[in-house]
Structure 1
Amino acid sequence: MSETIETSRGDAVVRDALMAETMRGMAHVILHEEIAKDGLVNFWVSASDIRTVLFTLKQPAARLRMLYDITALDERQREHRDGLPDSTFTVSYHLVAFAGPHDEIRLKVPLLGLDPHVPTASDIWPSANWFEREVWDLFGVVFDGHPHLTRILTPPTWVGHPLRKDHYARATERPPYTLSEDQVFHEQEALRFDPSAWGMRKHSDNSDFMFLNVGPNHPSVHGVFRVVLQLEGEEIVDAVPDIGFHHRGAEKMAERQSWHTFIPYTDRVDYVGGVMNNFPYVMAVEKLAGITVPDRAQMIRVMLAEFFRIASHLVFYGTMVQDLGQLSPVFYIFTDREKVFEIIEAICGFRMHPAFFRIGGVALDLPNGWDEKIRAFLDYMPPRLAEYDKLVMQNPLFKARTKGIGAYTTEEAIDWGITGPGLRATGLEWDMRRVQPYACYDQLEFDIPTAVNGDCYDRVAVHIEEIRQSLRIIRQCVDNMPSGPFKAEHPLSMPPPKARTMHDIETLIHHFVSVTWGPVVPAGEARCMIEATKGINSYHLVSDGGTMSYRTRIRTPSFAHLQMLPLLSRGVLIADLIAIIGSIDFVMADVDR
């Protein structure tokens, strides 16, 4: 049973009535109800009621199985919030049901004062642990009852909460940096690892802790990432992931860039995902602005996104195999990745970070003869994948190192916020491109690869099959590429062509303002979720009717996936941990942002 609602723009959106019915069964706790520009329903509840609401919504009858995200908003400088509850800071909870399209809701908790408190949800959903630590670190919201509410993205000695509006954004806003001997000592002491603070216990009074630092600079941890292992011989008793070394304030930078000029920053989040990072950002802006993207631009976007899915999965495939000691495949696989980059460069002009998507379309039309290289690659790649199957997937040593290692169930994956290939490897056939199609995916035929065991081997197998499905999607894009414009004719879209600016003064002014200040996007809130290379990636944007974002929330799959590492590590050998880390498929820029 479902109902049709209308957004503030008049778009019809189908919403699962059972979820709304569950919330309205708790009508006494609802402070306010609104529909955002993305069609998602926002239910405002008080901090004293949020635990009851979350617990109720997690029950089987409500079907809200995943706590997808927790984030916050500093409301103090926001002007366009008529009719909303009074709030200094607002904490948002995004819940997903995995039952059908638009089967999700957003809960909001208004908090007053500069020392806001809200109860923890980490004992209801384990995925809440890191999300709450991030909100406390960046906004200063205290989650009462959290088991270890400490800094997670900024250094332990950091002063202040960076995503508050009164926190500086640039080094030039601060006095010159100095580091005295006392400060050096203080910083070094802050890095000292205290096992008891993390809840680690000795086995007996006569035993002591035995630790191994893996990282933060080690080939097997795939970036600037540290894992502290508690060992008993070769067996791992506990693991503590330590992240944040790569944090560079991407969400803070979004508040200082125009809607257009932030696009190149998105490429650097999942830095092997390229334009896949542009996708959810520009789509969210388009929802806020009411822009309809032409069919040709939609298909160009999909085709390039699938090329980057292939490139990312090839990096995963090669490095995963290399981590387990097989050195030859990575050289062959990276050669194939170069062929993908040659095609991307021929179309976009750049390889890894082309920043090719634009609000309302893409930067350029396809060049003459664009399809020749693509068709050659589509014929070349399937036999290569068959060779890799023999070289890797049928290798008895690779099977021995991956089968039955790092396994988790569908329910565990959902509890921890796992999406993408990691979720589908447990048997759940869930893909945003199919369940909640965006761009032109509803016009394309492809299968959703799944596995059964949810172990390291299955995660690799799903990635490989996704490469084959991406090739299938790209072939359909090449064969059915529509004609027409590659960008929307909309005043909030890309600037008019430069050649037209010499014809009349109005077009010249429009071009000048669009390039220097950027478009003025109407006030509102929208988020967009896509099936990115490593799982579901989303941008949650809040506009206050200006030329820059008031709040940009980047929810990346790698952040949630890496949080599950301690659960997968306990009781395995150190060598198995390397296989588990490799099979998760993450990059630290995607984790730390």
Structure 2
Amino acid sequence: MVLSASPITGLDQPGMMATQSTRDGVRTLWVTADDLRPTLSTLKEHTPALLMLFDLTAIDERERTYRDGQPPADFTVIYHLMSLATRADEVRIKVALLGDRPTLPTISDLWPNANWYEREIWDLFGIRFENHPFLRRILTPPTWTDHPLRKDHYARATEMPPYSLTEEQERHEQDAMRFDPSAWGMQRHSDHSDFMFLNLGPNHPSVHGVFRIILQLEGERIVDAVPDIGFHHRGAEKMGERQSWHTYIPYTDRVDYLGGVMNNFPYVMAVETLAGITPPPRAQMIRVMLAELFRIASHLVFYGTMAQDVGQLSPVFYMFTDRERVFGIIEAICGFRMHPAWFRIGGVAMDLPAGWEDLIRAFVNDLPRRLDEYDAMVMRNPVFRGRTKGVGAYTTAEAVEWGVTGPGLRATGLPWDYRRQAPYACYDQLEFDIPTGANGDCYDRIVVHVEEIRQSLRIIRQCLDHMPAGPIKADHPLTTPPPRARTLHDIETLIHHFLGAAWGPVIPPGEARSCVEATKGLNCYTLVSDGGTTSYRTRIRTPSFAHLQMIPLLGRGVMIADLIAILGSIDFVMADVDR
């Protein structure tokens, strides 16, 4: 498929209240609640195909100080649109809402992936979406009585009295766990059939975490599949609004716990955009090299567990051996393995150690041979091909409607990669291909993952050959922490180091987002600074949250065994979904 150069159009219609300047340069427009649906409908109608609802979130504005030029609001709902027909042409549509219980019309009929995003906003902010088909809590338990991302909600358990559970409350909690199919939006599909309801999860090896799918079966076929998420929710966005800009970095590692520093990447870039910091070239290339090593590690987990999910038990042991070699390199460089939290505001924590080149070169020279063996073991295995070819297929248009990015999108034939469409760090200086599939099925998603491992090796080789010299951290007053060596030479830098680590830097007021092509798709952090030492609003847009919404679409009409293959091919982790 050839990408066109048509931008998002229809932005000059009546209904637009004002424009807003943001630090990231994304066009930001305000509309009234009454004009929201007409505006979004017009944008979708006038913009050529591939207009994605990339993100949908909200801000509690009631304690915010710096809102110059913005309409009065108690809450703001933000619709982030992205055209995949261009070089990541983006626009934000904002709606200002007043009152403690505001409402907006649903847009789940315009973009199906708005369904979960609207439920998330209702759950965490208490903003109701009229005519939503299934508006109930999604990340917190059904018995939860408050909206956690409101500013008047506590951020730490120590702010609450000790937990107690009366017998009446216990009965209430148990009643809430009773299963009522109609309460989950399930319907009788035939008057002449008996249906069985089956819980897949929340503790099932194929769901890669604590995750439940309620299946409605007619015989051995699935007639409905309703995902139930939130078991892993830890309030990562709320924690981002209580930690300092610097001390939140280790928290990001735990979002996609297989992605390591790949999670640090968009967060520190968003802070740097707010602060006007440009990391030096050496830091940029070190970041890219580490990110690609983690892409390989994550894809090896996917490769091995995908084969295991459909019954092939041997490959996972070989592939985890290669993953251990990646972790050995990461540990030699960062000091930690899975969660090194190694990126810093303005650069990286420290320079590369002696001997790093030989360590990495030996690995990148050896892995291609092993990948060839895995191709013979897995990809050319007739049983594996029979279990994955033609299963769980969707088109490019369906992928865009549901917010699918990453390998799942490229498997449909669209060569769209954020590293190429909107280059960040030093990706514009590196050569690599964008692997694609043709059918958008389970097999093609695996093919794309495997080829991406080879392309990551290609990128790492270029980092080895062209690693620039120079500093590994920006010489900027808001870089945190400042270069360690300078703290031994002047008291000002020592004080700067202490305050930056203890309180965090004071980031100028503004809004900025930063996005990366992460292991599973586009991972985006949107940060709002109110001129303090902490983030006023931390929004984490993860790929897995959007991808799991497709389960009802992909699961209907297939056998349970096929659903297991579909789940494995999606490549998700529940911490990335629930945050």
Q: What's the TM-score, normalizing by structure 2? A: 0.98
Which residue does 2:438 correspond to in 1?
452
Inter-partner Cα distance in structure 2 for 1:545 and 1:35:
16
SS of aligned partner of 1:118? strand
Conserved 8 A contact 1:378-1:475: yes
Which residue does 2:172 correspond to in 1?
186
Inter-partner Cα distance in structure 1 for 2:200 and 2:387:
19
SS of aligned partner of 1:542? strand
Inter-partner Cα distance in structure 1 for 2:56 and 2:489:
49
Amino acid at match of 1:125: W
Inter-partner Cα distance in structure 2 for 1:61 and 1:305:
34
Inter-partner Cα distance in structure 2 for 1:476 and 1:256:
39
Deviation of the 1:434 alpha carbon: 0.6
540, 544, 547: which one pairs with 2:526? 540
Conserved 8 A contact 1:487-1:494: no
Which residue does 1:5 correspond to in 2?
none
Matches within 5 A, 1:332-347: 332-347=318-333
Amino acid at match of 2:526: H
2:239 is aligned with 1:253 = yes
Which residue does 1:9 correspond to in 2?
none
Matches within 5 A, 1:77-96: 77-96=63-82
Conserved 8 A contact 1:263-1:278: yes
264, 268, 292: which one pairs with 1:278? 264
* 564-573 or 508-517, larger mean C-alpha shift: 508-517
Inter-partner Cα distance in structure 2 for 1:504 and 1:293:
23
2:10 is aligned with 1:22 = yes
Which residue does 2:223 correspond to in 1?
237
Deviation of the 1:18 alpha carbon: 4.7
Deviation of the 1:193 alpha carbon: 2.0
Inter-partner Cα distance in structure 2 for 1:190 and 1:209:
22
1:22-58: CA deviation from partner (whole Å, max 9, x where unpaired): 111x1x2011112311010111001111111111111
2:50 is aligned with 1:57 = no
Which residue does 1:565 correspond to in 2?
551
SS of aligned partner of 1:471? helix
2:493 is aligned with 1:507 = yes
303, 308, 328: which one pairs with 2:294? 308
Inter-partner Cα distance in structure 1 for 2:284 and 2:20:
30
SS of aligned partner of 2:10? helix
Amino acid at match of 2:10: T
CA change 1:544–1:63 in 2 (3 A) is: farther
1:483-507: CA deviation from partner (whole Å, max 9, x where unpaired): 0000000110023344433433322
Amino acid at match of 1:388: Y
Inter-partner Cα distance in structure 1 for 2:467 and 2:532:
35
Which residue does 2:404 correspond to in 1?
418
1:477-534: CA deviation from partner (whole Å, max 9, x where unpaired): 0000000000000110023344433433322222221111110000000001110000
Inter-partner Cα distance in structure 1 for 2:25 and 2:438:
34
Inter-partner Cα distance in structure 1 for 2:335 and 2:273:
28
Conserved 8 A contact 1:64-1:104: no
Q: Which runs of 5+ in 2 are unaligned?
A: none
Amino acid at match of 2:269: M
Deviation of the 1:60 alpha carbon: 4.9
Amino acid at match of 2:74: T
Q: Determine what percentage of the aligned residue pairs are the same residue.
A: 73
CA change 1:502–1:157 in 2 (3 A) is: same
Which residue does 2:187 correspond to in 1?
201
Matches within 5 A, 1:119-134: 119-134=105-120
2:127 is aligned with 1:150 = no
CA change 1:170–1:422 in 2 (3 A) is: same
Inter-partner Cα distance in structure 2 for 1:546 and 1:55:
38
SS of aligned partner of 1:211? strand
Inter-partner Cα distance in structure 2 for 1:131 and 1:414:
15
Which residue does 2:455 correspond to in 1?
469
Inter-partner Cα distance in structure 1 for 2:6 and 2:32:
23
Inter-partner Cα distance in structure 2 for 1:378 and 1:347:
16
Deviation of the 1:198 alpha carbon: 2.7
Inter-partner Cα distance in structure 2 for 1:29 and 1:60:
16
Conserved 8 A contact 1:284-1:539: yes
Inter-partner Cα distance in structure 2 for 1:193 and 1:355:
41
Conserved 8 A contact 1:56-1:62: no
Conserved 8 A contact 1:58-1:64: no
Inter-partner Cα distance in structure 2 for 1:429 and 1:187:
48
Conserved 8 A contact 2:194-2:218: no
Inter-partner Cα distance in structure 2 for 1:459 and 1:224:
23
CA change 1:60–1:462 in 2 (3 A) is: farther
RMSD: 1.2
Inter-partner Cα distance in structure 2 for 1:62 and 1:44:
22
Inter-partner Cα distance in structure 1 for 2:50 and 2:395:
17
Conserved 8 A contact 2:195-2:219: no
2:569 is aligned with 1:583 = yes
Conserved 8 A contact 2:268-2:343: yes
* 412-421 or 30-39, larger mean C-alpha shift: 30-39
1:118-163: CA deviation from partner (whole Å, max 9, x where unpaired): 1000000000000000000000000111001100000000111000
Which residue does 1:12 correspond to in 2?
none
Amino acid at match of 2:216: Q
Deviation of the 1:101 alpha carbon: 2.3
Inter-partner Cα distance in structure 2 for 1:343 and 1:445:
23
* 179-188 or 539-548, larger mean C-alpha shift: 179-188
Inter-partner Cα distance in structure 2 for 1:380 and 1:309:
17
Which residue does 2:313 correspond to in 1?
327
State how many pairs are aligned: 575
SS of aligned partner of 2:58? strand
Inter-partner Cα distance in structure 1 for 2:530 and 2:399:
36
Matches within 5 A, 1:396-435: 396-435=382-421
Inter-partner Cα distance in structure 1 for 2:211 and 2:423:
34
* 50-59 or 549-558, larger mean C-alpha shift: 50-59
Amino acid at match of 1:325: G
Amino acid at match of 2:108: S
1:264-310: CA deviation from partner (whole Å, max 9, x where unpaired): 00000000000000000000000000001100000000000000000
377, 391, 401: which one pairs with 2:363? 377
395, 398, 401: which one pairs with 2:381? 395
Inter-partner Cα distance in structure 2 for 1:543 and 1:81:
11
Inter-partner Cα distance in structure 2 for 1:588 and 1:360:
30
Inter-partner Cα distance in structure 2 for 1:144 and 1:461:
42
SS of aligned partner of 1:266? helix
Inter-partner Cα distance in structure 2 for 1:448 and 1:458:
14
484, 490, 496: which one pairs with 2:482? 496
